[in-house]
Structure 1
Amino acid sequence: MRVLKNAGRGLAAGCFVLAGSSVALAGAWDTLGIGSSELLFAPEDFVVEGSVTYVDRNVDYDITAAAVAGLGPVTTGPVSSRATPNIWNYQGALKFGITDNADCLARINNPLSIEEEMDPDWRGRFSGYETQARTFAFDATCAYRFQVGEGRYIRAIAGVKAQDLSYYSKGAHPLAGTAEVDLKADGLDYGWRVGVAYEVPAYAMRASLIYDSQIKSDLSGDTIVGGNKVYDSTASLTLPQSVELNLQSGIAPGWLVSAGVKWVDWSVIDVLSVDSEVAGIGTPVGETVHRKLNFKDGWTVKAGIGHALNEQVSLGSSLQWDRGVGGSYSDTYTFGFGGSYAASKSVKFTLGTAAIYKTAGSGDATNTASGTVNEYDYDASWAYAVNTKIRLSF
């Protein structure tokens, strides 16, 4: 049996540090946050893990300017509207050892998500009151371990990912009632990852560095005006690359500290544009949507500490800062606490909570293609998350 499965196992496997809630924990649309690939390093040969996160969000948009081209300012409807519905996120993962030195991790999840739903009568309704961008992704990552000294190892990490992206938005139309955009990726889009890790299992010490590539996605579908006038529509989007560094170490019997930093190249998404043409004719209509997002790169920094009270019960806490990328994504501070209970050697349950403080900011959803103006502010707010996880290992 390999050293990794014995040395430091009670510490590394017994401690729990809240992985965090979903939504914007690594900036903008990212739901995975820091440490989402930690299961790859699990000491057991075979692990099945499933987790669900519920997030209670509380952000209100306050209109500062709203207008429709040719019709002037919008003066009817409420100035303020709750913009963030409560959401669920999930992940399922399978880790298995191929040999004493080779391990693989397979996952399904929704790594990127946008969920906004405002009052259909609010003053910003002409540039949109509902937006959904959702992903369904598969990824597989493998690592091979090399011994570089007594009790010290290096892992080479590589993987692939496949992702399905959909986008839906709905807003008021000054002449036709409503306008909807409904797009879906033209098949699966692919990316890759590479990384390296250094480990000293006797001290539960590990440093890992993982790079994830960009994913380019072409979408097609319909723009529907007034519920029955349909236009063929297309869009292209480059989803950002990222680099993540994670560190952990035992500091005393039953105690583990961890830290991580993640950079996401959100500045690659500078504009959201949808092009349309008359269905069945092919006559260009032009841009249905053109919004300048002007995102800046995202940075997330996280630190945590965990303590195994005994062979069954562990507690952990974490603190995280995320630099907002602009617009509706301002800085956030997340305070997490959780615990795990090992019902047996093979079954473990985890429950975590988080309080997320979102700083005040402002956004601009103006559609420059149609001339519809939508500028808004939002105050500081708190969101709350609960995460549950079950882990089966053999």
Structure 2
Amino acid sequence: MKTKRISKGLMVLAAGCAFHAPAMAGGLERGGYNIDLLFDEGRFAGESAVTYVNPQRKLKNVRDVDTTTAFPVPTGAGGGNLNGLSDSVDDTEGYWVPRIGAKAAVNDAVDCMFDYSEPWGAHTKPGRDWAGANENIETKVESHNYAATCSYKFDVGPGQLRLIGGAFYQEVYGFKERLVQDFAGFPVPLSGVGRLDLEGDGWGWRAGVAYEIPEYAFRASLVYNSEVKLDDITGTLDLSQVNPTLYPAAFDVHGAQDMPDVVELKVQSGIAPGWLAFGSVKWTDWSQLQKIPFCTAAVTGTCTTANGVTTLDLGYRDGWTVTGGVGHKFNEQWSGAVSVTWDRGTSQGFGTQTDTWTFGAGASYTPNQNVEVRLAGAIGILTGGSSSTVTLDGETYGQRVNYEFDDDLVAAISTSVKVRF
């Protein structure tokens, strides 16, 4: 009986120690999607978790590659020659990833979970005083996700098969500031900075299947999360600090973009008394996010790069995240796990989203059968590379600034508390 209790305890161990995989993945991923609470053994369970991630990406050999200007003598739209500014800069900002959820067993066959998370996000803030300020001063993306997920389980062979389904409502919002025109050295009381503010929302759904054999701490799950169509992204573009005569105040803009669909396979199994191996493979359709155009209110049809007033340039490819690890149940109260994660970079010669390798370790303390506390940490390598002017599917990226970057570090710490009864 003790062996069986240890095996059941291992069933929840992997989830708490592999937190860093989504938190450090590519694209705009932050917390990603997580339905592990749905599998909790308790009739009722609630969980609260928070992760802090501190990436340390540094850019070097920065070059302003479009030094044309609209002021005082117009030569082009480059905004001026910024190569006299710093050619190196700290690009990234640390961020928090919260998650809270509750699960209830409706009966012996049906479980349902409700949760709040922040699946997508980004925050870069190199500032005004670098040679790439015409590309970015600060960019920030945030999200809210409210989800309901249920499963129906029934006996199949030595274990139980689960059918999973659910829906979620998602809000995505953010802003970007960049130097549109450099007025330095001229007696002009303008900053030259333009700001784009955006927000959108939409619905998505999920479906999946899982098979469990609790006696052997075995579980395999395959879950699909649909794309979220942000068909009506609205916001404002403020160019009043660039040309107040033409743009005395911020004006309305609109656009559309789908957030990516995600497929994830997770497997875990007991491999020896008190030992568990776990792994996962996830595909994320980041290639949907390329050059995202935004149009003025005068454009009532489809917004394109041809009729748009500005764009968000991402140029992503699909993301792949692979995690593997091992966990051990030391006794009835303490468990631990270690893991390694590889995430394929989503950048294609433009941007800083290169491959990431992350190494994590975590511990779980269960003082009694109703409470579980987890603490985990991770350190990773953001591999080096460069960003230059490239053409992807006929669209040009990186035409304002080129730069390089070495291997950099990223660190994270996560804690969670679960109560079940």
Gaps of 5+ in 1: 280-284
> What are the equivalent positions in structure 2 for 1:41-52 lying under 5 Å apart?
41-52=39-50
Deviation sequence 1:189-209 (CA, Å, 0-9, x none): 100010011111211111110
Q: Which residue of 2 aligns with 1:252?
A: 272
Q: 1:385 to 1:203 in 2, by over 3 A?
A: same
Aligned residues: 382
Match of 1:172 among 176, 179, 184: 179
Q: What's the Cα RMSD here?
A: 2.7
Please give the alpha-carbon distance, in whole angstroms, between the structure 2 residues aligned to 1:248 and 1:339: 17
Cα distance, 1:277 vs. partner?
5.1
Farther off after superposition, 257-266 or 116-125:
116-125
Amino acid at match of 1:98: V
* Aligned match of 2:198: 183
Give the Cα–Cα distance (whole angstroms) in 1 for the partners of residues 151 and 92 of structure 2: 38
The residue aligned with 1:108 is 116
Rate the CA distance shift 1:393–1:85 in 2: closer, same or farther, 3 A: same
- Is 2:35 the partner of 1:37? yes
Distance between the aligned counterparts of 1:353 and 1:274, measured in 2? 40
CA apart distance, 1:287: 2.8
Aligned pair in 2 of structure 1 residues 104, 363: CA closer, same or farther (>3 Å)?
A: farther
Q: Identify if the C-alpha distance between structure 1 residues 39 and 8 changes in structure 2 by more than 3 Å, giving closer, same or farther.
A: same
Partner residue in 2 for 1:10: 9
Q: State the identity as a percent.
A: 33
Q: 1:213 aligns with which of 226, 232, 250?
A: 226
CA 1:82–1:308: 2 relative to 1, 3 Å: same
CA pair 23-114 structure 1, distance change in 2 beyond 3 A: farther
Scaled by the length of structure 1, what TM-score is found?
0.90
Structure 2 segments unaligned to the other structure (5+ residues):
69-75, 184-189, 242-247, 300-305
Task: Give, in angstroms, the shift of residue 292 of structure 1.
Answer: 4.5
TM-score by length of 2: 0.84
Whether the aligned pair in 2 keeps the contact of 1:232 and 1:276 (CA below 8 Å) is yes
Question: Which residue is 1:290 aligned to?
Answer: 311
Q: How far, CA to CA, are the matches of 1:98 and 1:111 in structure 2?
A: 27
**1:1-394 equivalent positions in 2, closer than 5 A:** 8-13=7-12, 18-21=17-20, 25-32=24-31, 36-62=34-60, 63-69=62-68, 70=76, 73-149=81-157, 151-174=158-181, 176-177=190-191, 178-185=193-200, 188-217=201-230, 218-227=232-241, 229-276=249-296, 286-326=307-347, 327-363=351-387, 373-394=400-421
Deviation at 1:17, TM superposition (A): 5.2
Instruction: Indicate the residue corresponding to 2:186 in structure 1.
Output: none
What is the distance in 1 between the residues matched to 2:13 and 2:135?
A: 50
Cα offset, 1:274, TM superposition: 2.2
The CA deviation at 1:14 is 5.8
The 3 A distance-change label for structure 1 pair 377 and 235 is farther
More strand by share: 1
* Mapped partners of 2:120, 2:162: distance in 1: 28
CA distance in 2, matches of 1:167, 1:8: 44
Residue 343 of structure 1 deviates from its aligned partner by 2.5
Amino acid at match of 2:124: E
Letter of the structure 2 residue corresponding to residue 95 of structure 1: K
